[in-house]
Amino acid sequence: MTENASAAKPGGTGHERWRGMCALAGLSRKMCYTPPMWLLVACDPAPPALPSDSSEDIDSAPPASVGESFDVVVVGTGPAGVAAALAAEDQGATVVMFERATEPGQGMRYAGTATAVDTPWQRAMGVEDSVELASSEWQGITGEPCDLPGVMAYLEQSSNALVWLEQHGFSIGAPKPSTDEGSVPRAHVIMWPPDVAPFTAIMSGRAAEVRVGVEVSGPLLAEGRVVGVTWRDLLTGEVGETRAGAVVLATGGFLRDLDAVNVVRPDLAAADPVFESSPTATGNGLPFLAAIGAARHKPEQIAAYLHSIQDPLREEGEALSLFGISHFILVGANGLRFTESAGLSAFEPALEAPEGGTWLLGGGEELPYAGFQPPGFNWADPTVVEDFTLEEVVALGSTEVFLSDRLDDAVAAAGLDPDAATEMADYNMLAAIGGDDGFGNRLSPDHAVEGPPWVVIRVHPGLSKNFGGVATDVSGHVLDESGVPIPGVYAAGEVAGMIPGGGSGTGFAGSAGACYYAGWLTGTLAATE
């Protein structure tokens, strides 16, 4: 272990710094957009130089304002970062956590479920599960082979990871029934006290030092190894360096940067998406990874869902997600069906839409119970679920939701071609006779969409999670372009596509479980290797 050479916090005492950063709270949304310099990672330029043994790498960093050293630096305070800090502390390491945002731990509150296999909570509710069963279903859930080493390691250790979290103050609930994680419930609910922020509930009283409003700007390198970080205080402009035995990057995804999305998925970026991802998902760890020559692993694997509209109360790009409508058809602005209406859990139909986007036409008795919900990070009170009825969203001035007792009136109000109402009538006729929907699916009378009332909704892909990212091995070591671990640096959580070593595929419910597992794993290794 190295000794902490200085416990001084840059920019004044912790209270002084916190008051200063709170003054910037009104700018927090602007942090959702970062300079496109990190596209060095997402593009395909010549590979960045690998860490060298030249002293120039260190000398070129901003001069340190305070000389300090910790055993482990953790960059990011979401689920993976918190788990890494706790695990490193378990090994007796000194830990400092850097958080670019003004508030630590924002990702914890909204990571509400953790997938795990053969757990005490499953057994308590009579659910029989096993690693063998989960692995046999993995390809059907994610599209990835079940025998990937990273997947098997995660499934085998997922229960132990949740037990470890409980030992560190987390409250774990029974898994909620869902078909998104296989044949048995596996997504365990993580519960938080209503009056305490999750980060505070877990990290209060811990030895780890936490610095908010401080952006890690790059690596410190020596003899081919990452030996610390350079940083910049976003309030004061102060720059410095912090040396460490190891660095764990847990900076989250990049879906708030549409330039970055455009590089890896130009089709998705062009489909007029909105944000279901955390405001901190800006890809701010990726310049660091580019600087050390880190490789990428399937960064195009993005979870997006075709169920969102623009939130009429918030700035452009913020989402409201639709719930409660199961009977509908999808049409283009030309009024014609162009895709099947199997569900809204995939974004591919939006990629096929003609000019004018994708429109949902629904109706019937379910509409009074349907509505929209903003992502949890946009709730006025983080402890109180916020949602709106269809009528309330219309009253708020939405230009993407249209209600009427007559379908042709709703279609006209939305500005769609009148053929949309004819398409609905034709679809219902096919459903009545059990005909083919035109896309190879046999309909039944249960598929009919019957009104009034009727609703027409312009639906967008909601960008939710990254399931690919920087390349790591199954232990979370960051890999270079040759597949060789870069000494001194680990990555955990969404920045690494959730599962160390890969295997998340198209995604799975309860992926926070993989983030906590990865943090537990990398924090332990960062403190001991």
* Domain contains 212: yes
- Of residues 309 and 194, more confidence is placed in 309
Q: Which range of residues forms the domain containing residue 122?
A: 113-191
Closest C-alpha to 400, from 444, 460, 329: 460
How far is residue 142 from each of residues 112, 137, 139, 182, 399, measured CA to CA in Å?
20, 9, 5, 10, 35
**321-342: per-residue pLDDT in tens?**
999 999 999 999 999 999 988 7
Same domain, 236 and 187: no
* Domain contains 4: no
Instruction: State mean pLDDT over 188-209.
Output: 94
**Residue 204: pLDDT over 80:** yes
Q: What percent of the chain has pLDDT over 70?
A: 87
pLDDT at 179: 63
424: domain CATH number is 3.90.700.10
Same domain, 219 and 249: yes
- CB contact at 8 A, 88 and 165: no
Instruction: State mean pLDDT over 290-305.
Output: 96
27: domain CATH number is 3.50.50.60
How far is residue 262 from each of residues 10, 39, 234, 268, measured CA to CA in Å?
36, 10, 27, 7
pLDDT at 342: 74
Same domain, 340 and 449: yes
Same domain, 187 and 224: no
pLDDT at 50: 31
- CB contact at 8 A, 36 and 45: no
**75-110: per-residue pLDDT in tens?**
999 999 999 999 999 999 999 999 999 999 999 988
Number of domains in the chain: 3
Same domain, 368 and 438: yes
- CB contact at 8 A, 110 and 376: yes
* Domain contains 398: yes
Same domain, 309 and 445: yes
- CB contact at 8 A, 268 and 423: no
- CB contact at 8 A, 208 and 202: no
Same domain, 297 and 308: no
* Side-chain-side CA neighbours of residue 253 (13 Å): 27
**Residue 193: pLDDT over 60:** yes
- Specify the residue for token string 């701010």: 284
Helix/strand/coil for 334: coil
**Residue 25: pLDDT over 90:** no
pLDDT at 29: 28
| Beta strand residue intervals within 366-453, DSSP E | 371-373, 388-389, 401-404
With a CB cutoff of 8 Å and minimum separation 6, the contacts of 26 are none
How far is residue 178 from each of residues 115, 125, 141, 188, 503, measured CA to CA in Å?
11, 15, 12, 11, 21
Same domain, 201 and 248: yes
pLDDT at 382: 76
* Strands 469-470 and 296-297, sheet pairing: antiparallel
pLDDT interval class at 33 (50, 70, 90)? very low
Same domain, 331 and 436: yes
